[in-house]
A and B are shown apart, each in its own frame.
Chain A
Amino acid sequence: MNSPPNQQRVMLVTGSRKGIGAYLSQYYADRGWHVAGCSRSPAEWGHPDYNHYQLDVGDETAVVAMFADIRKRYGRLDAAINNAGIATMNHVMLTPGATAERIFRTNTLGTFLIAREAAKLMVPRQTGRIVNFSTVAHPLNLEGEATYAASKAAVESLTRIMAREFSPWNITVNAIGPTPIDTDLIRGVPADKMARLIERLPNKRLGTFEEVSHVTNFFLAPESNCITGQILYLGGV
């Protein structure tokens, strides 16, 4: 693992093994950040400015240990992107409790734990950026996505309240609500269901990774110091 010089900005991206998380990690590592990423499995890619932690974001002990290592290794954290998330498409009457619990554990508890520990690392420098991930499935009340949308509705509530609670230390907390993007998260969704979902969007197409980094750039910018507690949906939702 590489240790960045103290002046280098440090970012944490969860769910960085693949998909949007891998894209954002590489994107910011290419732009001068040192990126620490995590996922339950080893990373499928590498970068000189990237370190990978293997853990479950819903495991409090593992999350605290990761932040202890980040503190020791880098002594700072400038931004945290709470991208890790899992989904399932199923009717409520056909969804086992264990599945619902697993979704809330990763999406909601994971976001809470990462944001809490990130903020603690940001307090000494009195500045920081936290970006959470919501989804358009919440405002659109998509049938078949009850547990996923509900777990993200809770993320939105966390985002708004953490924005208020963290503001004394100039830590902003915002969320992006992307439209479906061609990643593993939606790969299991039948084509006809996806077509119906896309039809409900004002912008009737899948989203792109570049549209996501456009929004994260906005939230991370120094000029966005007073942009906090906001949920920004893509696709015109």
Chain B
Amino acid sequence: MLELIVKSVQDILNLTDKKLAEGITADTPLVGAGRVVDSIGLVTLIVDVENRVAEHTNRPISLMDDRAMSQTRSPFRTVGTLAEYVQELIHADLKERS
């Protein structure tokens, strides 16, 4: 999942010609200080990840559900926390279906 998110962030940065001094890792921030995408970039990222996961798993996924909104710590903090969150959602969906 981390790979998928990294690729998505990279594609969005390529659209804006933004160059990072360091590569994109699990610790790359998506919100707050040092974030690599602006607010529009974050929306694009979330939509892109939803689209990629849907293609990958053949199941629609919504990252902005009540669970994401109610968490005290945003799952969108870093590339790594987003990857973990997406993985959790996929597991929850699988569990619900089984």
* Chain A positions near chain B (C-beta within 8 angstroms): 64-65, 67-68, 71-72, 120-121, 123-124, 168-169
Binds A, one of B25-33, B48-56, B72-80: B48-56
Inter-chain contact B47/A72, CB cutoff 8 Å: no
**Does B60 lie within 8 Å of A67, measured CB to CB?**
yes
Asked if residues A169 and B44 are in contact (CB atoms below 8 Å), the reply is yes
Q: A71: which B residues are within 8 A, CB to CB?
A: 51, 54-55
Beyond A168-B40, A169-B44, whether A124 also contacts B51 by CB under 8 A is yes
Chain B residues with CB under 8 Å of A64's CB are: 60, 62
Check: B59 CB closer than 8 A to any chain A CB: yes
Contact of A68 among B44, B48, B59 (CB under 8 A): B59
**Which single residue of chain A is at the shortest CB-CB distance from B11?**
A124
Q: Across the interface, do B51 and A120 meet the contact criterion of CB distance under 8 Å?
A: yes
Majority secondary structure, A binding face: helix
The minimal Cβ–Cβ distance linking B64 to chain A, given in whole angstroms, is: 10
Q: Contact partner of A72 among B50, B58, B62, CB < 8 A?
A: B58
Q: How many Å from the CB of B50 to the closest CB on chain A?
A: 7
Give the 10 A-B residue pairs with the shortest CB-CB distance, closest first.
Answer: A68-B60, A168-B40, A123-B47, A120-B47, A64-B60, A68-B54, A123-B44, A71-B54, A124-B51, A65-B60
Q: For A120, list chain B residues within 8 Å (CB).
A: 47, 50-51
Q: Which residues of B contact A72 (CB under 8 A)?
A: 55, 58
How far apart are the CA atoms of A86 and B95 in the complex, in Å? 38
- Minimum Cβ distance to chain A for residue B68 (Å): 15
Nearest neighbor of B44 in chain A, beta-carbon distance? A123
In angstroms, Cα B58 to Cα A72, docked, is 8
How far is A72 from B55 in the complex, measured between Cα atoms in Å? 7
- Cβ–Cβ < 8 Å partners of B51 in chain A: 71, 120-121, 123-124
Closest to A71 in B: B54
- Cβ-closest chain A residue relative to B40: A168
Contacting residues, chain B, for A124 (C-beta < 8 A): 48, 51
List, in ascending order, chain B residues with CB within 8 A of A169's CB: 44
B42 to chain A, nearest CB (A): 12
Within the assembled complex, what's the spacing in Å between the Cα atoms of A65 and B62?
11
Q: List 13 A-B contacts (CB under 8 A).
A: A64-B60, A67-B60, A68-B54, A71-B54, A72-B55, A120-B51, A121-B51, A123-B44, A123-B51, A124-B51, A168-B40, A168-B44, A169-B44
Name which residue of chain B comes closest to A123, CB basis.
Answer: B47
Query: Given the complex of chains A and B, what is the CA–CA distance between A14 and B5 in angstroms?
Result: 33
CA distance A67 to B59 in the complex (A): 11
List the B side residues contacting A168 at CB < 8 Å: 40, 44
Give the distance in Å from the alpha carbon of A121 to the alpha carbon of B54 in the complex: 12
- The chain A residue sitting closest to B15, CB to CB, is A126
Among A67, A72, A120, find the residue whose CB has the most chain B CB atoms closer than 10 A.
Answer: A120
- With both beta carbons as reference points, the residue of chain B lying nearest to A124 in the complex is identified as B51
By a CB distance below 8 angstroms, the chain A residues around B47 are 120, 123
What's the least CB distance linking A71 to chain B, in Å? 6
